[in-house]
């Protein structure tokens, strides 16, 4: 069984994002970029399945410009067997991402698509669900535990009432939550080995998918600065300020 792992290149989670001067988005020039943390977790789970002999091959795929291959090299350094770059300079929305991934899934025929539940740049939490719908596959979102047995996979996920366990027939789409696992670090020997692993580049335009975006980003702005708090001496003074200034009671 193959496991396909879509990964996304985002601003590193240790970096404080800055709004671009023209308000068109988040500044990415000269900023450290890395693999989306939720995708790292999804990749780790795929690697663990292979180590349990429940998967034969782990394939990483990303969509973006040529520089996006750095996250694929990271994925292969972590242990992915090979990688696919769907190259495009266009800004693409989750619907288009799902359509592009659908083409790759149909070509590679994986048993599981393991992906992060959301990307930390837009927090949309939409691509996994859209991909499952377009493929007509069962889906297990927000996975905190994954167990593969025979031709089924059990996915434990946290819900408002506690924990829900889904039994899905394979093939299936699984999106990873933070509690699923702790991703491994890429060691220096594996980083060197990753340079020799196959990385295929496919032009997005060649896949027959409409790349036109139907979402328009109007503007991005910094949140307003928080003002300093006020120390009150008595409960009566606190109540009065809540009434007259905060207007919450």
Residues 6+ apart with CB under 8 A from 70: 9, 33
Number of domains in the chain: 1
Residue 13 CA: distances (Å) to CA of 37, 38, 40: 8, 11, 12
pLDDT in tens, 139-152: 999 999 999 988 89
Contact status, residue 155 vs residue 173, Cβ threshold 8 Å: no
Classify residue 117 as exposed, middle or buried by CB count within 10 Å of its CB (0-12, 13-18, 19+).
buried
Nearest to 4, CA basis, from 76, 61, 62, 51: 61
Contact status, residue 242 vs residue 249, Cβ threshold 8 Å: yes
Residue 115: CATH number of its domain: 3.40.50.620
Decide which of 128 and 122 is more confident.
128
**Interior angle at CA 140, CA 139 and CA 141, nearest 5:** 110
pLDDT in tens, 166-223: 999 999 999 999 999 999 998 899 999 999 999 999 999 999 999 988 888 888 888 8
Look up the domain containing 67 and give its range: 2-246
Please provide residue 208's backbone torsions phi and psi, each rounded to the nearest 5 degrees: 75, 25
pTM of the model: 0.85
């Amino acid at each position: 069984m193959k496991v396909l792992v879509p990964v996304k290149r985002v601003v590193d989670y240790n970096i404080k994002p800055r709004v671009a001067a023209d308000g068109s988005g988040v500044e990415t020039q000269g900023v450290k970029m890395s693999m989306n943390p939720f995708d790292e977790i999804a990749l780790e789970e795929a690697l663990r399945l292979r180590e349990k002999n429940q998967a034969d091959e782990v394939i990483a795929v990303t969509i973006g410009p040529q520089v996006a291959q750095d996250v694929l090299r990271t994925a292969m350094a972590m242990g992915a067997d090979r990688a696919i770059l769907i190259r495009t300079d266009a800004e693409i929305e989750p619907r288009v991402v799902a359509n592009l991934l659908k083409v790759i899934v149909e070509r590679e025929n994986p048993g599981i698509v393991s992906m992060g539940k959301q990307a930390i740049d837009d927090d949309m939490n939409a691509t996994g669900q859209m991909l499952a719908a377009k493929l007509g596959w069962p889906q297990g979102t927000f996975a905190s535990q994954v167990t593969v047995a025979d031709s089924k996979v059990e996915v434990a996920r946290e819900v408002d009432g506690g924990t829900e366990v889904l039994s899905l027939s394979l093939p299936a789409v699984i999106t990873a939550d933070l509690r699923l696992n702790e991703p491994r670090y890429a060691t220096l020997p594996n980083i060197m080995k990753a340079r020799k692993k196959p990385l295929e580049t496919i032009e997005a335009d060649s896949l027959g998918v409409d790349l036109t975006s139907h979402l328009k980003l109007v503007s991005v702005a910094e949140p307003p600065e928080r003002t300093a708090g006020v120390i009150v001496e008595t409960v009566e003074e606190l109540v009065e300020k809540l009434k007259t200034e905060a207007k919450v009671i």
